[in-house]
Structure 1
Amino acid sequence: MLPQAKRLNDVKEYYFSTKLREVRSLIDQGKPIINLGIGSPDLAPPATVMDALKNADIHGYQSYQGLPELRKAMALFYKKYYKVDLTFENEVLPLMGSKEGILHISMAFLNEGDQVLIPDPGYPTYSSVTKLIQAVPITYALKEGNNWWPDFEEIEKSDLSKVKIMWVNYPHMPTGSNASQKLFEELIAFGKKHRILIVNDNPYSFVLNDHPKSILSVSGAKDIAIELNSLSKTFNMAGWRVGMVVGHKTYLDAILKVKSNMDSGMYYGIQKGAVEALGLSSDWFDDMNKVYKERREIIWKICEQLDCTYDKESSGLFVWAKIPSNTNSTELTDHILYDYDVFITPGIVFGSQGEGFIRFSLCVDRSKMMEVLGRLNKPQIS
């Protein structure tokens, strides 16, 4: 057999890809698994968005930069909710999901051997894509005692001369920590000081969060920062694959060089649906978050049954819970999976700093969550 490329030697299959195969196998064996591990919205997109998709009648290739009206809608969305001015012609680039953007950004700015600052805990794709590009991931610890924010003094103890990109993600996944304006200002100052491109991955702004923020709201941010965003969680359109990268024209031009060689444009109907979604009133977020608040209350009760603690001020689509000190995250989640038929994500998946925590998704109907409560019935954890 033809051997795989060397770039795959340090890259593992995505955790959820392998674990969900195991979960499906258990279901096939007749196990009544309830999945509280995956952040795939189960709620429907807005009805007007569905109508726009159904009424689409253009099926040819589309522009690599997306419809002008989509870019306009994205720019207006940023102005309305983040108070950020973007020129739609060249400061907005639609993507087929923001995950695509992680690869495109990395390909556009990293050479072999360049270094990348990656949060721990954080989204595993930042590290795996860095390795695929044959750059070097350098993790920086996020700690509970520091609100899951970077410790700049600690980071600056290392040689940063080879670092080209710093990934940040606020509201943070998996912890739900929110950034302050001061933190964003510090990130921009750090990026300028060390000539490091700051990339904020920002898909959770509107989930259980009354104060959405963009790093581009900081004065001078466009000089050294770009931002990824997505309609997946905001409008329950995860499978549609609609995201965006926004920032200075120079950065987006480089990303477009990669993107235009990787796809042939986003389906017209999806773009029209995205335009419709971006123009909705804030009532949409209020109604969506009412559902998530009810579900989160139940997850908090599940946490208490498991003797876990949690932060009621966190945002996003998950509850990040601290487990009892006499166990570890994998042991606990495997125990719950095999003995109670409930899948929860162990914190170690997100990095070494995630050990001692587990993550619950809010993307499950409350009746299923109540069933989990009944199944657990205060398990004894040893």
Structure 2
Amino acid sequence: MIQVANRLHTVEEYYFSRKLREVGQMVASGKPVINLGIGSPDLQPPQKVVEAIVNSLQDATAHKYQSYQGLPELREAMAAFYKDHFSVNINANTEVLPLMGSKEGIMHISMAYLNEGDEVLIPNPGYPTYQSVTKLVGAKAVFYNLKAENNWLPDIDALQKLNLSKVKLMWVNYPHMPTGAQPSKIAFRGLIDFAKRNNILIVNDNPYSFVLNENPTSILSVEGAKDVCLELNSLSKTFNMAGWRVGMVLGSSTHIQNILKVKSNMDSGMFYGIQKGAVEALKCSKMWYVTLNSVYKKRRELIWKLAKALNCTYDENATGMFVWAKLPQGIKAEEFIDTVLIENNIFITPGTIFGSQGEGYIRFSLCASTEAIEECIARVNR
């Protein structure tokens, strides 16, 4: 029998892949499950984005292999987006690389910089893919705890006391998922100084800046950041384009060139029509963000009511398309969400899938209609 690679023994199937199978089986058996677990936008992209991909299909180059670096006009649109929204100057030719979703960027960056045995600082709680990709490339995950009392920000003093001799990479994610915590320029400044002192590359994963957030922030807006930082961003949440798979990585030309060495051996370019649609998305006016957030604001208010009905507490100042809620003292997250799933046919994400610091918390997604959320409240109240 052919044996699988050793790296497969270091990771498990993604939680949502397993759990959504269970939810799917419940639905197939007639259970009216409402999914408040996964952050897959249910709203439509801007109409001009859809029109752009449709209109592009007749272009002479639409069905050919595309550039590994993306269309020049897409890179220019990404650079302009960062200038307009974050006041960050990006060279469209050398400092931005389009990605097929920022998730692939996590793999490409890890493959470009990590050797077997290198160590990686990973937030707890944090996005599970940081850990799984670290393991897949043979590096070692070193978790740093984020705490509510510190607004879910890294404790630089505690980090500096660690043995950092083998640490090469550090993942941060602000605005933070799953908690919705906002960064500050002071926090980013501290991270950049920490990275320079210890020769560590920091990657800020930044796909949630524009959802229920009036102050979008980029780590690259801090002076000196490009020396030691990369930033990932995505069109998935901001423009309801999750299935399109469009993201970007931004940073110094040296770092981008290193990532391109990996990426150019992994794919043959992003589909032309998707790139044309992405260009239009990045040009959206302020009204797009206002309209999008008016929908999410109504949903969030209902989710807050649902959280209260479940005896949970939450931070009204948090941003993003999730509500991170604290369970009553002593209640285990996974046991709680399983009870709600069985008794109320509502699927909620347990905080534990984001790390041990997520115990005692659950996460609600705002990617459900107001009618669906109101039905959830009614079920719980019954």
So what's the TM-score if we normalise by structure 2? 0.98
Q: Does 1:266 align with 2:270?
A: yes
Structure 1 position 326, deviation (Å): 2.9
Q: Distance in 2 between matches of 1:156 and 1:185?
A: 15
In structure 1, what is the equivalent of residue 299 of structure 2?
A: 295
Question: Secondary structure at the residue paired with 2:97?
Answer: strand
Q: Distance in 2 between matches of 1:256 and 1:113?
A: 23
Q: Does 1:140 align with 2:148?
A: no
2:180 is aligned, of 166, 176, 180, to: 176
Aligned Cα root-mean-square deviation (Å): 0.6
Q: Does 1:53 align with 2:57?
A: no
* Residue correspondence of structure 1 range 130-169 to structure 2 within 5 A: 130-169=134-173
Q: Does 1:192 align with 2:196?
A: yes
In structure 2, what is the equivalent of residue 341 of structure 1?
A: 345
Please, which runs of 5 or more residues in structure 1 have no aligned partner?
none
Amino acid at match of 1:190: F
Q: Distance in 1 between matches of 2:26 and 2:2?
A: 33
Q: Distance in 2 between matches of 1:149 and 1:280?
A: 31
Structure 1 position 156, deviation (Å): 1.7
Q: Does 1:254 align with 2:258?
A: yes
In structure 1, what is the equivalent of residue 41 of structure 2?
A: 41
How many residues in Structure 1 have an aligned counterpart in Structure 2? 378
* Residue correspondence of structure 1 range 96-245 to structure 2 within 5 A: 96-245=100-249
Once the two structures are superposed, residues 255-306 of structure 1 have per-residue CA deviations (whole angstroms, 9 ceiling, x without a partner) of: 0000000000000000000000001111100000000000000000001001
In structure 2, what is the equivalent of residue 278 of structure 1?
A: 282
Q: Distance in 2 between matches of 1:348 and 1:155?
A: 22
In structure 2, what is the equivalent of residue 19 of structure 1?
A: 19
So what's the TM-score if we normalise by structure 1? 0.98
Amino acid at match of 1:126: Y
In structure 2, what is the equivalent of residue 353 of structure 1?
A: 357
Q: Does 1:3 align with 2:3?
A: yes
Greater than 6 Å deviation, 4+ residue runs: none
Amino acid at match of 1:337: L
Question: Secondary structure at the residue paired with 2:339?
Answer: helix
Amino acid at match of 2:265: N
Percent of aligned pairs with the same residue? 63
Structure 1 position 4, deviation (Å): 1.1
Amino acid at match of 2:173: N
Q: Distance in 1 between matches of 2:352 and 2:158?
A: 22
Structure 1 position 182, deviation (Å): 0.3
Structure 1 position 153, deviation (Å): 1.3
Amino acid at match of 2:19: K
Q: Distance in 2 between matches of 1:108 and 1:312?
A: 39
Conserved 8 A contact 2:330-2:360: no
Greater Cα shift, 49-58 or 95-104: 49-58
Structure 1 position 7, deviation (Å): 0.8
Once the two structures are superposed, residues 127-150 of structure 1 have per-residue CA deviations (whole angstroms, 9 ceiling, x without a partner) of: 000000000000000000000000
Question: Secondary structure at the residue paired with 1:55?
Answer: helix
Q: Does 1:79 align with 2:60?
A: no
Please, which runs of 5 or more residues in structure 2 have no aligned partner?
none
Amino acid at match of 2:316: K
Structure 1 position 179, deviation (Å): 0.1
In structure 1, what is the equivalent of residue 313 of structure 2?
A: 309
In structure 1, what is the equivalent of residue 97 of structure 2?
A: 93
Structure 1 position 16, deviation (Å): 0.3
In structure 2, what is the equivalent of residue 66 of structure 1?
A: 70
Question: Secondary structure at the residue paired with 1:363?
Answer: coil
Question: Secondary structure at the residue paired with 1:9?
Answer: helix
In structure 1, what is the equivalent of residue 378 of structure 2?
A: 374
Amino acid at match of 1:361: S
Q: Distance in 2 between matches of 1:303 and 1:198?
A: 34
Q: Distance in 1 between matches of 2:284 and 2:194?
A: 36
Question: Secondary structure at the residue paired with 1:286?
Answer: helix
Conserved 8 A contact 2:246-2:278: yes
Structure 1 position 205, deviation (Å): 0.3
Amino acid at match of 2:78: M
Amino acid at match of 2:356: S
